Structure 1
Amino acid sequence: MTSKAEIDRTTADAEEVNNGPLTGVRILDLTSVVLGPIATQILGDYGAEIIKIENLDGDLMRSNGVSLHPGMSSIFLAVNRNKRSLAINLKTAEGVEVVKRLIPTVDIFIHNMRVGAIERLGLGYEAVSKISPDLVYCAAPGFGQSGPDRDKPAFDDIIQAACGIASLNSVGRERPDYAPTLVADKTAGMAVVNAVLAALFHKTRTGRGQYVEVPMFETMVAFTLAEHLGGLTFDPAPARAGYARLLSGGRRPAPTADGYIAILPYTGDHWAAFFKISGRPDLAEKFSVDDRQARNKLITEMYSALTEITRKRTTAEWVEICAELDIPVTPLYGIDDLIDHPHLKAVELFSSADHPTEGPIRFVQPPTRFSATPARVRFHAPVLGQHSEEVLREAGYSEQEIVMLRERRIVGGAVPRLE
């Protein structure tokens, strides 16, 4: 079996090419859908080597979104780059054994299964830590394991409803609704990145691994209540939960003569300048713009006045005016418009490349910049099981053993269509 030290030496030889800050870190990724894959993709963008374990049918997200070919959807492509795919039947003892043979070769083990399910596979923390005591083991379940909901399934909709986001989306509407983005999955995914990096730093300093739990529900409650804990901050509570400025509905996109604009006079000077250039200096006095507390109490009325004023000029005119006054402003962009956003074009956030199986694709570059160890897209999302044989060889399997595992459907994956 190939040792971690041997793999590290191979990685070091390629360091000049793969020089992200996590170069040399090797991760076994048993995550699926969005929460886990977006976390491991970020770690991969930072240079870590990611071995993505998939069942023989592949990650569910291979089928969600827009597809040119089965199993390679737009969402899968967006959150699974910089990974190698190993397709294994974990319902078999032989499939689990493959994972166990890989464990000593990695630094980090990440999964977002229900904890009971992965323990039944024999891949819970206690079992895995016996194989590799210095491993960083990260579980990202739906709910914390010390509570009564620990075994419940969780998806983005469920967590949005449970953590208060769907309820907040009922303010000013006839009924509650989900945010039209996978906010719980993606936010919890970034929390996984933070937690794993902290544990990896601890391991670097002490040589010791540990168990890390990032529960989706608790993560999103903390995220939501950062501004909305409100009166419940104090005991006894002088007011209900909620950030009144947001819940009052004061701020919203403002109509212009030809569309909408997001405009945010934030200081008293901003408001005074805005009312003056709009020909309504009297409103600055009426709303006591120099007194922040008085201004906050009248915020709904102030924004009602603002939206009447913004109707009188075009979006482009307001952008120019606000730029002169240093008032935060932007036109509203639809998601189809973002690829042509002048700032995003200037910083080259979007790139195009030929995917080995999907042909020309557009993708978003890692937005985080490192001056000395740049994050980068080294290769695009893999075909299911594209690297099965390669990873098995690294784990010490012979060619005969690999053929046997394929024939018995322990390991699978299609051979990629290289066009």
Structure 2
Amino acid sequence: MSGGPLEGVRVIDLTSVVVGPVATQFLADYGADVIKIEPPEGDLLRKLGGKSPSGDASAKFLHFNRNKRSIILDLKTQEARRTLQVLCAEADVVVLNMRGPALERAGLTDELLRAANPRLIHCWLAGFGQGGRYADRPAYDTIVQGASGVAGAMERLVGQPSYAPVLAADHTVGLIAIQMILLALYRRERTGQGDSIQVPMFENMAAFMLAEHMYLRSFEPSLGGTGDPRILDPQNRPLPTLDGHICISANTDAQAYAFFEAVGRPELKDDPRFSTVAGRFKNVQAFFEFRLGALRERTTAQWLSIFENANVPAMPYHTLETLLEDPHIDDVGMLTTVEHPSEGTIWNVGLPNKLGSGARTDYMPPPMRGQHTTEVLTEAGFDAATIERLKASLA
């Protein structure tokens, strides 16, 4: 028994790399039985994410695939495709991130699978929405970041086209897929009917970027250009202190006035450029330029104490290395060590959110490739001879 609110929900996971595994790991963490279907060579991320002790489970693979069971099926063969269809007929959710033609070749379209299992929730993570000219194009995070305007916004910020240094599209769209799957599960509880979900990466990221940065083009006729000037100002960055940097944000009048007091410039609260939210927005470049030079005479630790007492939002600036040492991370137990059957001791990134009813209690380390093939197929009713024949076809 796994525990958690999704205990008893079975998910067939036909995703790879990041966007899909982010979604299915969340479902697994909260109790779903997630069966990860891998090709004979395994999920690409097993090697694409860098070296590992075994050479077959990169750090990123480990961080996106805990609490799942892995089976190997070569979907190029008819028998493997029929086997997969049997598994889907007994499942609650199937999650896929193949392109449309590949879904059709493998017999994994929502029409076919839901005809055999009307309660099935078919969630397709696509690069691009169907009906558009990009529908069948391949997509990875960087492709979507570039096409959706993320890299273009970075150019306005740093002076050249750049990708965000995190797989922003994969993680964002994976979280959206979770929302859609949970909505469909809720609807099924009321109606008994499954559902067909399409979650396109490009449209979701384009919607985020347009909502954030259409700015004055939101009006007809247009009141001006695109891009929120607060976000895209090059001075909107961690501020230098005597011994490093600090992150601050003073958005309300009370916070701005407290900031002015703290840095020894109380008269600025009466300066019409900075005395109101509208004034600071209109003069955001001057406001940011002032902030940039205001903190150089004290250490980061001194400023953190001052701003905490003044109720000005502020936090340390972290590198990837210093984040690992943040005491709050330790306080909440976000990082723990666990034992993996092929990789030895690994660090596990814990669940950041707490649910009163709890989450999965029987932690399973990220699976070795095909670790649970015999177990899962036996549970599904396949006899030993069929299982051995399927496994032999992978050699």
- Common fold, TM-score beyond 0.5? yes
Q: How does 1:39-118 map to 2 (within 5 A)?
A: 39-63=23-47, 64-118=49-103
Partner Cα distance (1:330, 1:380) in 2:
33
Query: Which amino acid in the other structure matches residue 379 of structure 2?
Result: E
Cα displacement (A) at 1:288: 4.5
In structure 2, what is the equivalent of residue 218 of structure 1?
Answer: 203
Cα displacement (A) at 1:97: 0.9
1:81/1:377 contact within 8 Å kept:
no
Q: What do residues 100-155 of structure 1 show as CA deviations (whole Å, max 9, x unaligned)?
A: 11112110011000012111111111111111112100000100011111000000
Query: Which amino acid in the other structure matches residue 260 of structure 2?
Result: F
Q: Is 1:25 matched up with 2:19?
A: no
1:230/1:242 contact within 8 Å kept:
yes
Q: How does 1:110-189 map to 2 (within 5 A)?
A: 110-189=95-174
Query: Among residues 255, 266, 281, which one is paired with 2:266 in the alignment?
Result: 281
Cα displacement (A) at 1:287: 4.7
Query: Which amino acid in the other structure matches residue 55 of structure 1?
Result: P
Partner Cα distance (1:294, 1:377) in 2:
54
Partner Cα distance (1:319, 1:202) in 2:
47
1:287/1:302 contact within 8 Å kept:
no
More moved, 194-203 vs 276-285: 276-285
Query: Which amino acid in the other structure matches residue 203 of structure 1?
Result: R
Partner Cα distance (1:375, 1:240) in 2:
48
Q: What do residues 148-207 of structure 1 show as CA deviations (whole Å, max 9, x unaligned)?
A: 110000001100000000000012433111111100111110011001110111111100
Partner Cα distance (2:118, 2:357) in 1:
32
Partner Cα distance (2:51, 2:292) in 1:
38
Identity over the aligned pairs, expressed in percent?
Answer: 40
Partner Cα distance (1:377, 1:211) in 2:
30
In structure 2, what is the equivalent of residue 35 of structure 1?
Answer: 19
Cα displacement (A) at 1:355: 1.1
Q: Please, which runs of 5 or more residues in structure 2 have no aligned partner?
A: none
TM (normalized to structure 2)?
A: 0.96
Q: How does 1:234-253 map to 2 (within 5 A)?
A: 234-253=219-238
In structure 2, what is the equivalent of residue 293 of structure 1?
Answer: 278
Q: Is 1:364 matched up with 2:343?
A: no
Cα displacement (A) at 1:378: 1.4
SS at match of 2:357: coil
SS at match of 2:234: coil
Q: Which runs of 4+ in 1 moved over 4 A?
A: none
Cα displacement (A) at 1:357: 1.5
1:140/1:214 contact within 8 Å kept:
yes
In structure 2, what is the equivalent of residue 316 of structure 1?
Answer: 301
In structure 1, what is the equivalent of residue 381 of structure 2?
Answer: 396
More moved, 179-188 vs 232-241: 232-241
More moved, 280-289 vs 257-266: 280-289
Query: Which amino acid in the other structure matches residue 335 of structure 2?
Result: F
Change (3 A) 1:290 1:174: closer
More moved, 169-178 vs 78-87: 169-178
Query: Which amino acid in the other structure matches residue 37 of structure 2?
Result: I
Query: Which amino acid in the other structure matches residue 220 of structure 1?
Result: M
